[in-house]
Structure 1
Amino acid sequence: MDNLVQTKPMPRLFPLSGKAIDRRCTPVNGGARFSLRLPAASISTASAALGVELAVPVNRASAANGRTALRLGPDEWLLLLSEAEAVPVAAVLEARLTDGRYSLADISHRQTGVVLEGTAVTDILNGGCPLDFDLAAFPVGMATRTIFCKAEAVLWRQSEGRFHLEVWRSFAPYVWNLLAIVSREYAV
């Protein structure tokens, strides 16, 4: 049998090889995060209360007025908003969803975010995430629960070269270090 190195070109053997000048990983400081669960019958009422459209397809994001809703399942959203809005948002949902058939959990203490951007961002993410980041497969506005190496994460594509990655705080140093290691491939 032929030696693999002799039969395959180097870029094929090392798909992360390459250089890119433009790449940044920035921690997201502050902000409130909520896990919202509610039945289909309550989506329009909750959308009006939040000022963000919740009736988007699963694995899509919706944003308005500084609030973002990532639809992760048929009855599940991750809400991202400012810390100052945490208490008012909880109060307005409680006032509007009078049937009590919803769950709103403040998970701000559990999660943190990282914004990843640049020309090599999809290659860097593929260093630890098995998703296809081609624009046709993972378009702008898509958001999904996934993994980065061994850490559960929520990933949202904000633009062609910009992603928002949410991870549990206990995994944040692990994910940050792995991003740094993979990013070294793209250092100039």
Structure 2
Amino acid sequence: MAPISSLAARTPALAPGRLALLAPASIAPLPPAARYVLRVDPERVAGIGLTGGFDLSGPINSCRSTDAGLAARLGPDEWLLIARDADEAAGRAVADAFSGTHHSLVEAGHRNVGIAVAGAQATAVLNAGCALDLSDAAFPAGSATRTLLGKAEIVLIRPGTEHIYRVECWRSFANYVHGFLTEAALEFQAS
């Protein structure tokens, strides 16, 4: 009988070299990362500071960055945690932090794909398919939300003050989302 291996290799949804460098905006797949969806009573989070290296202290529709990664609070009891790399140690640390507490921690690293949208026209490129007001006043640095881009559900994150956004989508929508963003950026390149 042939030996059984429990290691599964996943083909990237977007080729790593699939970079669209267009004058006003660039669209690029982000490297693989460990991602977790955490559901926990917000009262359990209040006042504990860092949890497994993630800062869960922000209000709804915000994100906080630490050395461990990014924590986007998407609902009253829901966070999307994105580790700096594909190492699963961050997830174990979060699970340990809530040990003995009623919570749900789901590994979503193979479900989601990250795409970076950056440049002077990044906001306009996103607004080609996203009806949110992405102005600095309405969607400032440290914002995160679940929304639609065209016909695909995404999580949109603006971690810093620069015009750099992180778009998280399900792998099955990755080609559509990347193509949509690239096509929108091409319109701004021509103008």
TM-score of the two chains, using structure 2 as the length reference: 0.81
Q: Name the one with the larger helix percent.
A: 1
Deviations for 1:11-59, whole angstroms, at most 9, x for unmatched residues? xxxxxxxxx8331001012111100010123214874332222121110
1:4 matched residue in structure 2? none
Residue identity in the other structure for 1:97: F
> Where do 1:1-188 residues align within 5 Å?
21-44=23-46, 47-81=49-83, 82-84=85-87, 86=88, 88-158=89-159, 159-188=161-190
Distance 1:60 1:94 in 2: 22
Any idea what SS the aligned residue of 1:62 has?
strand
**RMSD, aligned α-carbons:** 1.7
Distance 2:135 2:69 in 1: 27
Distance 1:138 1:96 in 2: 31
Taking a change above 3 Å as real, the CA distance of residues 184 and 139 of structure 1, as seen in their structure-2 partners, is same
Distance 2:48 2:82 in 1: 15
Distance 1:45 1:169 in 2: 35
Structure 2 residues without counterparts, runs of 5 or longer? 1-21
Seq. identity, %: 35
Please say which of residues 120-129 and 152-161 is displaced more in the overlay: 152-161
Rg larger in structure: 1
Distance 1:52 1:89 in 2: 9
Structure 1 residues without counterparts, runs of 5 or longer? 1-19
1:5 matched residue in structure 2? none
TM-score of the two chains, using structure 1 as the length reference: 0.82
Regions of 4+ moved over 6 Å: none
Taking a change above 3 Å as real, the CA distance of residues 121 and 94 of structure 1, as seen in their structure-2 partners, is closer
